[in-house]
Amino acid sequence: MELAWYATLGLVFAGYLVLGGYDYGVGLLLSGIRDDGQRRAALTAVGPFFLGNEVWLVASLGILFGAFPRLEGELLSGYYPAVVAALVGVLLVTVGVQLRGRPAEPAARARWDRVVVAGSALAALGWGALFGGLLQGLPLDASGHVAGIGHLATPFVAATAITLVTLVAVQGATFLLLRMPKGQAADRARLVRRLVPVALGAVALATLLGSLSADVRAAVHPGALVPLLLLVFALLAARLLAERRPGWAFVASSLALVAPVLLVGLGRYPAALVSTVDPAATLTVAEAAAAPATLRLLAWVAVPFVPVLIGFQAMSWWVFRGRIDGKAPVYW
Amino acid sequence: MDPLPLARLQFATTTSIHFLFVLVTLGLVTLLVYLQTTSFVTRKPVYERMVRFWGTIYLINYVLGIATGIVMEFQFGLNWSGLSRYTGNVFGAPIALETLLAFFLESTLLGMWIFGWHRLRRGVHLALLYGVAITAYLSAFFIMAANAWLQHPVGYEVRDGVAHLTDFTALLTNPTFTMALGHVTSAAVLTGGMVLAGISAWLMLRRSPDYELLRKSLWIGLVTVTIAGVPLMGFGFAQFGAVGEVQPTKFGDDAAKAQAVADFTARFGPGDYLPPAYANASLGFMILIGFTLAWAFVMLPLFYRDWIVRLKFPLVIVGLSLPLPFVAAILGWLTREGGRQPWAAYGLLKVDDAVSPISGGVMLASFLGFTALLLTLAVTNWVLIAKRAARGAADPALGRSLADVTAEDDDERRPEPALAR
């Protein structure tokens, strides 16, 4: 039961990274678009999905709280700075995207767009730092407390934070490739091809720093190589497919965002939180889970309703499928 | 520096700001359901204009509701890890259900509603709004169940030092839940009515165009305030008995208080088990505001021959009353939450044991940072609502297409929007 919920948690958070990933990716790419109308067009491409993307984060947090209350408390307070950075980033993107269309003056809209860019960068950096922090473990003592926040200040964590920014940028680029009018396809594909090597470089740097760090070597077992390879191949595939098959390129870059979740989940299993100071204090998935009665209650609700939730999301994807044109509804 | 008061203050500010937006979200979505249903049935253009105008205001407000809600959700883990650790098995369940069953759907459906103006059939589009409203109320249901559990823990047993869920239905029949849910939802509907009435009154005083829309909105708003006030007060006063029994230190008489304090001292050691004085003071002011708002019915006869507009001063009164329900709501929460101190979960877990083992400096930085950020965003949001409202009903943001926006300058006031399709 715990394993099923742990997998669900991973799945939902991966869903958030894939969907929220293109929100933030498009957000980052706004910085390169000079024209207000073009920025609005890019956000219109995200448009109908934006509100539905973010809920995956809230749902994963709900699952974390309901099914893994102990992990929730220790994870969020143990990685305080990373989580707060991500949270502030998410907040700025949410607010910026939804309010940027309200002022009538283009200058005010440009200010909100800068908020979106900053928020996207911060959100990706924060989640990337959290992944890095999870992979290197934290100074958890036997009572479940973490002393201080300095444990996050390592080169490896910095590298994973930057890596996630690049992955998210690739995701945003493939999304725009898929959604923007056909006429822009060549330019969009060129952007994807340029961004992928940057992302690969960041992955290589993070891998190198990780293999040099004793904490990371101790926390992660060799099974982590599989998701790492998946990440590299997915990025390469995104680059190769960008020209001809935008849909598949988007699938590939989405897989590149699923890979970090697999890396963190499989690479350390059965540990949910690895302690760097006391091996006995390492929190396993089974220990972190809520009591069986709670998990059963949640399962009774989740099994019939999750298909409904996904169904409504799928309805939204279907209704608003295809490339945007002059008739696309605008709100942002 | 002691992190506990900072964590509490951060929770109080975040929750208060969150609730101001939640009230309007719940209240306006209820009225939007009425407006869009009427528009669907009667096909009168004025109702469609009202949905698009009030819908835009609703959506601007909704932004901060989500933003602060996400902060709330994270805050439990960030600042109150002891609460997750000790009560997570029980308290986490309604929170998880809220995110999965309610909020997830609400946002997904709302996204489709916003962008569905030109794409979806009218019936489907209306059904989406019904979905948004139902899930919004479902959110309130689960969140109030979670809050009520902290007020009066039920349906659990303590094993191995942590609370375990034994009976989920007990959470839903909790005496601190049912009445409070009715109280909060009627407060939200009343606030929605007040927003309609208050903004319409100001726009009429400014002689904004589209008199028909504004007069109708003013009427609907004031009728809503009048009707919602009855259950609001009923559920409010009904809580004294129920809450007094399970929370003697909040509403009990002196003997009950003394007995509760003796009991807590025996179980948890000596300490200050009486709530702070502000909890009762804010209750008094809240009731005062409630009685003031109950006078809304006086305005209704003034619609005869439009006296309410001709006399002008009733409009000023309605406009000035706009902040009252918000103030009352905050005061009410101060009573409910402050009145149960020093408990995070009443009689089970003290706030001292619930707070995260974070250093005071980190907590201070987090408190100052988030408070500044959320306050700035809240004020910006209200300014945007005010500006949008001041531009009048002629140019709603809802239901435009990319060609509309690029073809015309955004500043240009467009005439009546064409109907969708």
Contact A77 B358 (CB under 8 A): yes
Contact A329 B78 (CB under 8 A): no
B18 pLDDT higher than 50: yes
Tell which residue, B2, B1, B73, B67, has the closest CA to residue B351: B2
Burial B320-342 (b: 16+ CB within 10 A, else e): ebbebbbebbbbbbbbbbbbbbb
User: Quick one: tokens of B167?
Assistant: 């009976």
State how far the Cα of B361 lies from the Cα of B120, in Å rounded to an integer.
52
Contact A49 B166 (CB under 8 A): no
Contact B111 A326 (CB under 8 A): no
Instruction: Work out the minimum CA distance from A282 to partner chain B, whole angstroms.
Output: 16
Consecutive H or E run containing B163: strand B162-165
Contact A59 B120 (CB under 8 A): no
Judged by a CB distance cut-off of 8 A, whether residue A63 touches chain B is yes
pLDDT of B256:
83
For residues A162 and A100, the model is more confident at A162
Contact B399 A329 (CB under 8 A): yes
Tens of pLDDT, residues B239-276: 888 888 888 888 888 888 888 888 888 888 888 888 88
The partner residue sitting opposite A87, judged by closest CB among B71, B101, B403, is B71
State how far the Cα of B295 lies from the Cα of B154, in Å rounded to an integer.
39
Instruction: Work out the minimum CA distance from A240 to partner chain B, whole angstroms.
Output: 32
Contact B89 A51 (CB under 8 A): no
**Tokens 């970090």 found at:** A260
Average pLDDT over residues B178-191: 94
State how far the Cα of B378 lies from the Cα of B65, in Å rounded to an integer.
10
Residue spans of alpha helices (H) in A68-154: 69-78, 80-99, 106-136
Judged by a CB distance cut-off of 8 A, whether residue A11 touches chain B is no
User: Quick one: tokens of A273?
Assistant: 């939180």
- What number is the ipTM of this complex? 0.89
Residues of A in contact with B73 (CB under 8 A): 58, 61-62, 65
Residue B343 dihedral angles phi and psi, to the nearest 5°: -100, 135
Average pLDDT over residues B34-43: 94
Tens of pLDDT, residues B132-143: 999 999 999 999
Contact A165, A244 (CB under 8 A): no
B410 pLDDT higher than 50: no
Instruction: Work out the minimum CA distance from B137 to partner chain A, whole angstroms.
Output: 17
State how far the Cα of A261 lies from the Cα of B365, in Å rounded to an integer.
30
Residues of B in contact with A330 (CB under 8 A): 400-402, 404-405
Contact A86, A50 (CB under 8 A): no
pLDDT of B406:
63
Tens of pLDDT, residues B77-118: 888 888 888 888 888 889 988 988 899 999 999 999 998 887
Q: How many CB atoms lie within 10 A of CB B59?
A: 23
pLDDT of B28:
96
pLDDT of B297:
83
Most distant CA atoms of chain A, gap in Å: 61
B307 pLDDT higher than 50: yes
Nearest CA in chain A to B83: A73
Instruction: Work out the minimum CA distance from B254 to partner chain A, whole angstroms.
Output: 38
Contact A230, A254 (CB under 8 A): no
The partner residue sitting opposite B108, judged by closest CB among A64, A316, A331, is A316
pLDDT of B284:
86
pLDDT of B414:
45
pLDDT of B421:
37
B418 pLDDT higher than 50: no
Judged by a CB distance cut-off of 8 A, whether residue A69 touches chain B is yes
